[in-house]
Structure 1
Amino acid sequence: MHAWNDGSLGRGLMNGVAFLSVLESCLLDEFPDLDFVFATLGLGAIVKASRGGRYSRQNRAEGRRPNIYFDTMGDDPSIIAILAEFFGPDRVLAGTDWPILPSLSQQSLGRSFKTAGLDAAAQALIAGGNARRLLGRVDR
């Protein structure tokens, strides 16, 4: 199945629009404890998001980021590196687009983390620490 046949292009557009809509709405201010998770398909919207507002260079440099998370949708090291750099490793979740993409293995994810240049702390967050925190399995 190819991306142009499985609706992925439309799904990416919808994810990007949803991400930008949340950023531009009052939801983040009205519900500061609500966490949002978006699929990497919406990653193209970060170009728009980086042009100011909540994801401006200054806000990112100061570590000010909203409760928005992106899942990796696989183990591509370039995508993992971009997500970790832009959003911070504490806002990235290891995930798949199963059943469209194969499930993750610990070995392939570990290789991708190394190729992406992530340190052990970032790897631990992305591999499961962030998900456990979001699901209330550990203290925030």
Structure 2
Amino acid sequence: MIDTLDYEKVPAGFTHCFNGTCKLADTCLRYQAGRHIPETKRSIRTLNPSYVKTKESCSEFMSDVPVKHAYGWTHMFDKLIHEKAVAIKDELLCHYGKSEFYRLKRKEKSFTPRAQQYVRSVFRRYGVTEEPVYEQYRYEYVWWKD
């Protein structure tokens, strides 16, 4: 259960839940965000209370456990052989697109755990056994489903 939540970090359009009888409510980010809505918030997006049933699983459940996000990759390729660094950069650029690729570099967007795994798999495909090096790590909630 989340005791305090900086509601400013809840993205616009995030879907809240108010089903307090759900067995998953204590660990669900949607329910926990709903508990911390400030009085000044005029409207929010919410799940239909009739849709969500109290049961063992819920298709809309999102864990309220923060996960490790990585930011920035300015020095990620410093220790790699030039040819491999260029090939890996090209593959990541194709995968993410130019805009997102540079947003990731400038720390405007994070590498989620899933994105970190993808980068690691690209490194392995090119025979690089070292772990990718990011500039910063922060534990954050995952606000969107992959």
The normalised TM-score by structure 1 is 0.24
TM-score (norm 2): 0.24
Larger Rg computed on CA atoms: 2
More RCO (CA 8 Å, sep 6+) = 2
